[in-house]
Structure formats: C-alpha cells, structure tokens
Chains A and B, each alone.
Chain A
Amino acid sequence: MSNTSVRPKKREFCLYLLPGLCIYVFTALAPIVMAAYYSFFAWKGGPKKIFIGLENYTRLLSDEVFWKAFGNNMYMLLLSLIGQVGIGLCFALLLNSKIIRFKKLHRTLCYFPSTLAPVVVAFIWTIMYNYNFGLINATLRGIGLDNLAMPWLDLAKPIMTLVTIPLIWQNIGYYMILMMAGFSAISPEVLEMAEIDGATGVKKALHITLPLMKNTIMVCVMLCITGNMRGFENVYIMTDGGPGNASNLVALYAYETSFKKFNYGYGSAVSIGIVIISLLIVLASRVVIQRKER
C-alpha cells in the first residue's frame, strides 16, 4: 500500500467501530446471551424462575412439533433455493442476453415485489388464495374448472408449497439484482473472447458466465439459507402455522411457545436451538463450498 499516510491509526479505527459495535451488542449479542441464560430455567413469566439445567434442551430434542417445523423450514429452503436463487439467476441471465427487449421495464417489474413489506405480500396472497373471491379460484371458475377451485390455505398437504410461493415471488427480484451486479463485475473482454471462439447463448452462460459468478451465487445461497431460518412474517399472516401445525416454522414455534403458551424458558431454548442449527447449516455449506474450491 502506498497511501499509508491517510490510513487512520488503530485507536481511531476502534473509535469508528465503537458506535456500530455498541448497537450490535445491544440488539443482537445481548438478547442471544440472555436467551441462552433463560433457556436453563422453567419460567412462565413474572419474577419466579426455577433452574432446571438442560431439561429444556432434552425436551427440545424429542419435541415432535419442533422437528416438524424444522422439516418445514428445510422444505421451504429447498423450494427457495430453486425458486429464488434459481429463477433469479435465470432472469439475470435473460436480462443480460440479447433476446430481451425493454430491459429497464423488465428489471423494474421483477424487482417491484421486493420493495413491498412481507406483511403486504402475505395479505395480497391470502386474498388471492381465498376460496370465495380469490383471484385463483375466480380464474379457475371463469374458465370452467369449477371442481379445481379449492380452499387453498385449508389444504394441509400442499400448504408449505402454497405459503412458499409468495416468498419466492417476492424475493426473485432481490437475487436477480445481486446476480446482475455479479455479471457487471465480469470483464467484457472475457465475454468477447468467448464469442469470438464461438460460444453463444446457453454455452456462454454455462461455461463462461456461471463459473465466473460462483462467488456471487454462493453469497446468494448463503443469504437464502439464513433468510429461510428466520422465515416468519408471511406464514404468520397467511396461516399462523395452520392448519394445526402443518405450516409451522421454527421461528414461529419459538414465538408461539413464548408468547402464546407463555413458556419463556422453553421458548428461549427453542430460539437457541434455532441459532445452533442455523450455524451448523451455514458451516456445513461453507465446508462443502471450500472443499470444491480445492
């Protein structure tokens, strides 16, 4: 580095970091540490707490609802990886190719759902799924497929797919923008060279663009994983985990345990469980990626 003269001193570095660090400690680190502490107690709210050691955690390990919710999270993650990152990538590739016209319009329209609050998206889709006056059933009835009109959000089996669709719809634009940023980092000479060598369309995308975008894609995958582990809003609004526990998610379950069953001790244990599992998943995916790099 030649410009060491403008580099601030270590002490200044720390000073600049301090405000951000304080906020972070207060809003993130402290609650997690507190939750970890509470998870060792039987605590139903109020000043009375009974220390019960690891009992909450042994209960968590054999809690059917929690593991069902975790399964739902994993299913949602799988769909989101395909739907959000996958479709986002396809859209980005298309927008970068020469086939598409009105690129700015398409880009704006694709990104638009991402500007909406999750609550709004969930409400829109709840109305679309409505049995009597929802858009989906109205369309089906309009084209004479009356027997296909369903009370969509009441169907226990496909419910996870149904609640994931709005999530995908909302987030495609976000990943698309990230991918497009990744594209613009690829130097145009490389692409020109490929074209001169005869690579076009799909071939160019598969052999040149994608390998060069690997890091961007990995960031997207990572964001998608963490985003899914805290999935909450849209399911909370659309079904509140129902029917029964069919669309329950781990974060929703933690909320339910603490604020509906008023079991704060166990609720904290559930939250800590989520943190641990999320860390394991993220670490596992990093290991997989790094091994591939070697």
Chain B
Amino acid sequence: MRSLKKTLGVVLSMGILLTGCAGGATAAVNSSGSESADGSQPIEITLVHRYLEANVGVNSEDTAVLQMLEQFKKDHPEIKVVEEQLQSSEYNTKAQVLAASNSLPDVFTVQGSWMENFVNNGLITPIEDDLAKNPEYRDGFREGTFDVATKDGHVYGVPIAAGPTHVIYYNSQMFADVGYESFPQTWDEMLDAFEKLKAKGIIPIAMGNKNGDPAQSGWLAVIADRYTGSEWFESICEGEGASFTDPEFVSALKAFKDLADKGYLNKDLNSIDNTTMQNYFFEGKAAAMIDGIWAVTNIDSAAPQEILDVTKCAVFPAVEGGKGNPLSSAGGAGIYYCINSNVTDPEKRAACMEMLEYMTGKQCAEIMASVGGFPAYDPKDFDTTKLTPLAKEAYTLCNQATPSRIYDLWLDASIITTLNNGLQEMLAGTMDPENLAEQVQQSYADYLAFK
C-alpha cells in the first residue's frame, strides 16, 4: 500500500512537471471563430492573418494588405471586421491549433503546403463560383497563381503575393573590385568571383539559416532547378516516378555543399537568422545575400545609403549541363486567403469576397508594387515614379523570371522538415549529400505510402 501511494505520488508529480509537453498537442484555444452575429446585427467577419501593423513600411505585403483592409472598413461601416494579427511563426502554430479543434475564423491565411490537408479535412470552402461572379477580379491575377490552391478543379483560396523566394542582393561595388561588372553569368565565373572575394576577407554570400527554411526555399529550390529542370520537380509533386536520389538532385546538393565547404558562405550560417544576415550585408561584411523579393522594402529603409546605392539584384546563374532555365527563380503565390467552410450565408460570403477583393485586388496590387513588392494580382501599368531604384530593378527581374515551384509550398511538411534539418547538417559538414538524398527520399516514400 505504501509503495502504491508512493508510485501514485510520483505519477502525479511527473504529470505536473510534464504537462508542458504532453499537453501541447491538446491545448485548445477558444477565441475568435465562436462569436457570431445574431440575425438582426450587421454582418461580422472574423479574420486572422499573418500581417502585422508593425510591419507596415517594412514589408510590402503587410503594407498593402493592411492599408486596403482599413479602406474596406471605412467604405463598409455596415460590416464589422474582427481582426487578429499574428507574427508568421505564431500564426502557423495558432492556425494549426484552431484547425485541429475545428474553430477557425471566417477568413484566414493558408500557406500552400497546408492546402491539401485543409481541403481534405473540409476546413475551407471552394470559391470558384464566388470568383465567377467577378471575372474582372479573377482574371486580373497572374498566370499560375491559383495553382497551389486548386484541388480537383475547385479553387480554395485567393493568392496575395507571388514574388520569388530567391533574389540575390549583391554589392556591385565589391563585385566590380574583383573584376565583375555585373553578377557572374555562369556558375564557374560565380565561384571564381567568390574565391576572389573570400581572399579579400569578405563573406562572398551570406545565409541566415537558423530556422532551417532559407537554405531550402531560397537556395536549394533554385540550385536544384538549375540541375533538374522544372519537370523533375513536377513529377515529384505528382508522385510520378522522380526520386530524390536521382543523380541530378544529388549533383545539386553537392554543388550546394561545395559552396559551404569552400568557405564562400558565412561560418555561422546555421546559428544566425535573417536579420543578422541582412546586417552582415549592410555592414559590408558580406558581398551578397539571398532573400525573398519582400526584403526590398526593408533594404530600402534599413541599409546605409552607401550600401543601398550599390545594391543590385540577380539570380543564380546556369550550371554546365543543367536542365533548368537559367532565368527562373523559385516563386509563385505562396500564401492564400481562404474562407471557412462553415460560412454558408450568401450575404456573408459576398461580404468576405468583397473584403478579399480589397485586400488582394487591383488597388492592393498597386500599393504593394509601389513599395517594392510583387503582388499576385497583376497591376499592369502602375505608378512607378514612387519606386526606389532597387525596387524597380527587383520588379523587372521578377517580371522576367519564370517562376519555378517553391519546395515548401508544394511538398508535405514532413518531407520539408527532413530536408531542412538535413540541409543544416550537410552545410555544417556532418552529413553527405548522398545520405541526405536518401533520407529525404525515405520520408517522401513514407508520405506517398500514407497518402
């Protein structure tokens, strides 16, 4: 009896101490989503998204979307918008918990890689019929931007931005000093330029890969595309036979590892974040860095003038014998606004669609483009006079580039996590490209089997 009591005591005390982790998966959040307007009240839309007031003027997407949301509130006082803004990583966690407990708000953002799961669980409603009522709006989007949100012929979301995740921002002065007037046009020339920069004690190209995404979405997606071409990845996405152990993909991994092994990347790439990486570039410690198109706004506002004046944009050059299009950059729409499948009242749906048109349509696109973003909706001829030289250059570059698929928007999260972790280890020198390819293939095979 005594020992039983003791055991019980231990069990209980362990329980208290472990609540933090064991309870994690089940802790439900009951906030927005449960509130609804009763019949006589004006329409109320609950909205949770990943755009922050604090990022207005820092990030082009936040600036445009939030400005247009304000406009919508002003133009439609009869519709009440209950809004919650969350930082993107917090948003991801919260949205997943809300989804798990089936208490999502009326309108929310969904990233491409979640789409299949959300559709399969019936959490979001198809909107192709609603879009058909407003063809001018629907047809204004750039080609292919609805692809990730389209499943079995149904459209489930409205894209917001479509910019590449890979833009090389480089210090043209530093490259000119080693004999390159513009960014090198072939892979070998690029390695040569990097070697010369390294000899001068400058980090040739900086990476901030602490959270694991950049190496994959900003770097590998493009390096791999240069080697494999887009068909290979499309075959991966459709499960049509391509494999991560294919020699082209392994070559891409080797080329990537080569950059790290030769010391062309900053040594602390796995322990610094994006902000620190940008600081290396701003301080003149690094000659180049890779970031998404959305970074333009921040570079314009945070970079010292003498650095800003010589900053130019490029993408990775072609590799010898590679199958990819040397002008492509990983891009396309990644984040979508989706409507909860429990929004069935036609009046409310119309109100939601109206709000989305404000937040993603022509006016929003013009604002976004004018501050250096790359909207999914094509603003055509917008006022470019307000654009900074860097924003103009980045915009032109993106307009020319054919988007190749972004890995983490198209692949299941379990594969991406394996790939991200593996890339960190490969760049740290503790894993071979072949091993990494095998691990990713294993997790891909697991996913296909489960599917």
Chain A contact residues, CB within 8 Å of chain B: 24, 27-32, 34-35, 38, 42-48, 126, 129-132, 151-157, 226-227, 229-230, 232, 239-246, 250-251, 254-256, 258-264, 267-268, 271-272, 274-275, 278-279, 282-283, 286
- State the Cβ distance, A128 to closest chain B Cβ, in Å: 12
Q: Quick one: which of B85-114 are within 8 Å of A by CB?
A: 92-93, 96, 99-100, 102, 114
Question: Which partner residue on chain A sits nearest B94 by CB separation?
Answer: A259
B139 on the interface (CB 8 Å rule)? no
Q: Tell whether, in the assembled complex, residue B23 and residue A283 are in contact, meaning their CB atoms are under 8 Å apart.
A: no
For chain B, give the interface size range: 35 or more
Chain A residues lying within 8 Å of B6, measured Cβ to Cβ, are 286
Q: Tell whether, in the assembled complex, residue A46 and residue B100 are in contact, meaning their CB atoms are under 8 Å apart.
A: yes
Interface digits, B3-14 against A, CB 8 Å rule (1 contact, 0 not)? 000110011111
A241 to B7, CA, bound (A): 33
- Counting chain A CB atoms within 10 Å of each CB, the highest count among B26, B123, B211, B285 belongs to B26
- B16, B27, B271, B280: the one contacting A151 at CB < 8 Å is B271
Assuming the contacts A32-B15, A46-B122, A243-B428, asked whether A282 and B268 have C-beta atoms less than 8 A apart, the reply is no
A78 to B22, CA, bound (A): 23
Chain A residues lying within 8 Å of B429, measured Cβ to Cβ, are 156
Chain A residues lying within 8 Å of B92, measured Cβ to Cβ, are 259
Question: Which partner residue on chain A sits nearest B10 by CB separation?
Answer: A282
Inter-chain pairs besides A262-B114, A262-B117, 4 sampled, C-beta below 8 Å: A230-B17, A242-B270, A242-B421, A244-B421
- A43, A48, A242, A272: the one contacting B22 at CB < 8 Å is A272
Our count of residue pairs bridging A and B at CB distance below 8 angstroms stands at 185
Q: Tell whether, in the assembled complex, residue B121 and residue A28 are in contact, meaning their CB atoms are under 8 Å apart.
A: no
Question: Which partner residue on chain B sits nearest A44 by CB separation?
Answer: B117
- A130, A132, A240, A251: the one contacting B20 at CB < 8 Å is A251
Q: Tell whether, in the assembled complex, residue A38 and residue B268 are in contact, meaning their CB atoms are under 8 Å apart.
A: no
Q: Tell whether, in the assembled complex, residue B25 and residue A264 are in contact, meaning their CB atoms are under 8 Å apart.
A: yes
Q: Tell whether, in the assembled complex, residue B425 and residue A245 are in contact, meaning their CB atoms are under 8 Å apart.
A: yes
B31 on the interface (CB 8 Å rule)? no
Chain B contact residues, CB within 8 Å of chain A: 6-7, 10-27, 92-93, 96, 99-100, 102, 114, 117-118, 120-123, 210-212, 266-272, 280, 285, 413-414, 417, 421-422, 424-425, 427-431, 450
- A43, A45, A263: the one contacting B414 at CB < 8 Å is A263
Q: Tell whether, in the assembled complex, residue B21 and residue A254 are in contact, meaning their CB atoms are under 8 Å apart.
A: yes
A126 to B271, CA, bound (A): 9
A286 to B9, CA, bound (A): 12
A264 to B99, CA, bound (A): 11
Assuming the contacts A151-B267, A261-B417, asked whether A46 and B22 have C-beta atoms less than 8 A apart, the reply is no
Q: Tell whether, in the assembled complex, residue B20 and residue A46 are in contact, meaning their CB atoms are under 8 Å apart.
A: no
Q: Tell whether, in the assembled complex, residue B24 and residue A258 are in contact, meaning their CB atoms are under 8 Å apart.
A: yes
- State the Cβ distance, A127 to closest chain B Cβ, in Å: 10
- Counting chain B CB atoms within 10 Å of each CB, the highest count among A28, A38, A256 belongs to A28
A130 to B285, CA, bound (A): 15
Q: Tell whether, in the assembled complex, residue A35 and residue B22 are in contact, meaning their CB atoms are under 8 Å apart.
A: yes
Chain B residues lying within 8 Å of A244, measured Cβ to Cβ, are 421-422, 424-425, 428, 430-431
- A34, A46, A157, A241: the one contacting B99 at CB < 8 Å is A46
Q: Tell whether, in the assembled complex, residue B269 and residue A274 are in contact, meaning their CB atoms are under 8 Å apart.
A: no
Q: Tell whether, in the assembled complex, residue A240 and residue B10 are in contact, meaning their CB atoms are under 8 Å apart.
A: no
Chain B residues lying within 8 Å of A43, measured Cβ to Cβ, are 100
- State the Cβ distance, B94 to closest chain A Cβ, in Å: 10
Chain B residues lying within 8 Å of A47, measured Cβ to Cβ, are 102, 121-122
Q: Tell whether, in the assembled complex, residue A154 and residue B268 are in contact, meaning their CB atoms are under 8 Å apart.
A: yes
- Counting chain B CB atoms within 10 Å of each CB, the highest count among A157, A241, A267, A279 belongs to A279
Q: Tell whether, in the assembled complex, residue A34 and residue B15 are in contact, meaning their CB atoms are under 8 Å apart.
A: no
Q: Tell whether, in the assembled complex, residue A268 and residue B25 are in contact, meaning their CB atoms are under 8 Å apart.
A: yes
- State the Cβ distance, A34 to closest chain B Cβ, in Å: 4
Q: Tell whether, in the assembled complex, residue A229 and residue B18 are in contact, meaning their CB atoms are under 8 Å apart.
A: yes
A225 to B93, CA, bound (A): 29
Q: Tell whether, in the assembled complex, residue B431 and residue A275 are in contact, meaning their CB atoms are under 8 Å apart.
A: no
Chain B residues lying within 8 Å of A245, measured Cβ to Cβ, are 421, 425
A30 to B307, CA, bound (A): 56
A263 to B118, CA, bound (A): 13
Chain A residues lying within 8 Å of B25, measured Cβ to Cβ, are 35, 38, 254, 258, 264, 267-268, 271
Question: Which partner residue on chain A sits nearest B211 by CB separation?
Answer: A240
Q: Tell whether, in the assembled complex, residue A46 and residue B118 are in contact, meaning their CB atoms are under 8 Å apart.
A: yes
A227 to B14, CA, bound (A): 10
